[in-house]
């Protein structure tokens, strides 16, 4: 076959939010795009998760691409605040967090419809099994359809296939900067979850409208938590998750039932939908591009490492990926350096904020749920402090602030060093991520210095 013949400019593997926005962005620039997904067309976009979506990401997508924010039956509830609680709902910090609880399927289907209106071709029930590699460059994929192999050739291939990253798994090691260990998903980086959508009996309503709540409990090892999200009138999205590496734990479903009984009386609701999932909660991979393609969304590990929110980052990632691919197509050339700008956009944006959030997560793990409760009760960590840390912004305490917090810590002075260490490490990481290199030349040194700061080999 003629190596210069391509069926598409870009093939996107996976039609979730990251894949759809990548495809839309490239198609909007006038290029020929296809989405391949293993699901049936009417199921693409569905996912078992908390269904929360921050408003900032959808406003950015609207501003840059003209895609309207979630509306109508795509929205289960409008979110105005996020509360972080410990040992129940009595002690909590509440942050301003404008956003939505969405119906992932309905919203996801609309994104696909928008893609199709731009000319994106969607191939459902097309699981990808092989890569086409020519002259050390990915030149397409082979899908397995009704017992037959079907080849799709493209100038670029995007892995938007989710946490277990179909394309990444198929790439030879030398495509991954020769560093297979950079792309690990160990058990302490995976968050299994169990979730139910429940409806209260007899037309009853709940007290969680316009709110999402994360509850840290002694029975749930941090960074795991129990969540309660408003799903609209009389309905809740409720779930639980913890790291896969945790030992001697009950089943997720068993722990879920026990914890739910603290907040919703057994027998007072019916289960509308249930299921589980696997969420990657680690920092974004050090390098996300290769000759002929890139990784985006959960396949790139863009999920927030403490809240486990991945929908908003997927939209941002799709936008950055689409812009970069469009520029590469315009300029010509298919090598990884033509896509390197995507690395910079991710690591200096999402990566920087998620690195800070990772330090918050490690701090919460160190002090346990009882420490979190103490910090909230004494207002050592204020709503503003927590908001800053979760968003990945710098947190700086002056001398008077530190003295005030020191007084409030009595008698838990054992928490002073973890707080101080977390702040210093977070600020060092922000500086490190802002200096992400502009080419492969200094990447190895950058990774070594980042790992030294964070105390973990990513």
Position 384 confidence tier, pLDDT thresholds 50, 70, 90: low
Looking at per-residue pLDDT, the higher value among 411 and 238 belongs to: 238
| pTM exceeding 0.75 | yes
Please give the structure tokens belonging to residue 154.
């493209």
Specify the pLDDT at position 391.
59
Which segment of 61-75, 120-134, 141-155, 350-364 scores lowest on mean pLDDT?
350-364
- What separation in angstroms does the CA of 210 have from each of 73, 78, 96, 101? 16, 5, 11, 9
Question: 106 CB contacts (<8 Å, ≥6 apart)?
Answer: 73, 74
Please give the structure tokens belonging to residue 40.
């049936």
Give 98: exposed, middle or buried? Use CB within 10 Å, 0-12, 13-18, 19+.
Answer: middle
Please give the structure tokens belonging to residue 319.
């936008």
Q: Quote the mean pLDDT of the chain.
A: 89
> Once rounded to an integer, what is the mean pLDDT over residues 222-250?
93
Position 181 confidence tier, pLDDT thresholds 50, 70, 90: confident
> Once rounded to an integer, what is the mean pLDDT over residues 243-268?
93
DSSP label of 347: I
Which segment of 38-52, 208-222, 258-272, 330-344 scores lowest on mean pLDDT?
208-222
Comparing CA positions, the residue from 185, 178, 106 lying closest to residue 136 is 178
Query: Which ranges of 286-396 does DSSP label H, i.e. alpha helix?
Result: 311-331, 340-346, 352-377, 383-391
Q: How many CB atoms lie within 10 A of CB 190?
A: 18
Beta bridge partners of 271: 198
Specify the pLDDT at position 403.
46
Q: Determine phi and psi for 389, rounding to 5 degrees.
A: -65, -45
Which segment of 130-134, 148-152, 244-248, 409-413 scores lowest on mean pLDDT?
409-413
Position 79 confidence tier, pLDDT thresholds 50, 70, 90: very high
Residue 376, pLDDT above cutoff 80: no
pLDDT tens column, 292-327: 999 999 999 999 988 888 999 999 999 999 999 999
> Once rounded to an integer, what is the mean pLDDT over residues 131-152?
96
Specify the pLDDT at position 1.
40
CB of 237 closer than 8 Å to CB of 231? yes
Residue 400, pLDDT above cutoff 60: no
Rg (CA), the chain: 22
Residue 275, pLDDT above cutoff 80: yes
How far is the C-alpha of 440 from the C-alpha of 247, rounded, in Å? 39
């Amino acid at each position: 076959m003629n190596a210069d013949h391509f069926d598409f400019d870009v093939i996107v593997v996976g039609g979730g939010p990251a894949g759809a926005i990548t495809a839309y962005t490239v198609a909007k620039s006038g290029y020929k795009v296809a989405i391949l997904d293993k699901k049936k067309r009417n199921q693409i976009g569905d996912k078992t998760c908390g269904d929360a979506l921050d408003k900032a990401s959808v406003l950015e997508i609207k501003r840059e691409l003209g895609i309207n924010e979630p509306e109508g039956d795509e929205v289960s509830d409008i979110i105005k605040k996020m509360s972080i609680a410990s040992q129940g709902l009595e002690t909590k910090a509440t942050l301003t967090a404008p956003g939505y609880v969405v119906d992932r399927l309905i919203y996801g289907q609309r994104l696909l419809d928008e893609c199709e209106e731009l000319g994106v071709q969607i191939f459902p029930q097309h699981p990808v099994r092989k890569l086409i590699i020519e002259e050390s460059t990915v030149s397409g994929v082979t899908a397995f359809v009704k017992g037959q192999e079907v080849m799709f050739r493209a100038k670029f291939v995007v892995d938007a296939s989710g946490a277990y990253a179909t394309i990444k798994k198929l790439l030879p090691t030398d495509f991954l900067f020769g560093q297979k260990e950079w792309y690990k998903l160990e058990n302490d980086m995976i968050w299994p979850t169990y979730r139910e959508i429940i409806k209260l009996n007899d037309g009853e309503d709940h007290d969680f409208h316009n709110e999402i709540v994360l509850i840290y409990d002694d029975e749930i090892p941090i960074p795991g938590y129990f969540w309660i999200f408003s799903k609209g009138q009389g309905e809740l999205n409720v779930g639980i998750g913890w790291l896969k590496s945790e030992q001697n734990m009950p089943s997720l479903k068993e722990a879920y039932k026990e914890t739910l009984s603290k907040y919703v009386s057994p027998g007072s609701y019916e289960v509308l939908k249930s299921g589980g999932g696997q969420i990657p909660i680690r920092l974004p991979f050090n390098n996300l591009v290769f000759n002929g393609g890139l990784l985006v969304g959960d396949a790139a590990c863009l999920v927030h490492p403490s809240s486990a929110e991945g929908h908003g980052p997927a939209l941002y990632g799709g936008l950055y990926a689409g812009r970069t691919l469009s520029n590469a197509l315009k300029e010509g050339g298919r090598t990884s350096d033509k896509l390197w700008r995507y690395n910079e956009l991710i690591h200096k944006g999402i990566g920087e904020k998620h690195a800070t959030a990772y330090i918050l997560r490690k701090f919460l793990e160190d002090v346990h749920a009882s420490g979190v409760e103490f910090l909230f009760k004494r207002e050592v960590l204020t709503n503003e402090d927590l908001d800053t840390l979760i968003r990945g912004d710098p947190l700086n305490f002056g001398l008077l602030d530190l003295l005030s917090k020191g007084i409030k810590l009595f008698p838990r002075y054992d928490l002073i060093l973890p707080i101080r260490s977390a702040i210093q490490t977070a600020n060092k990481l922000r500086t490190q991520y802002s200096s992400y290199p502009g080419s492969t030349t200094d990447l190895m040194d950058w990774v070594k210095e980042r790992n030294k700061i964070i105390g973990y080999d990513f």
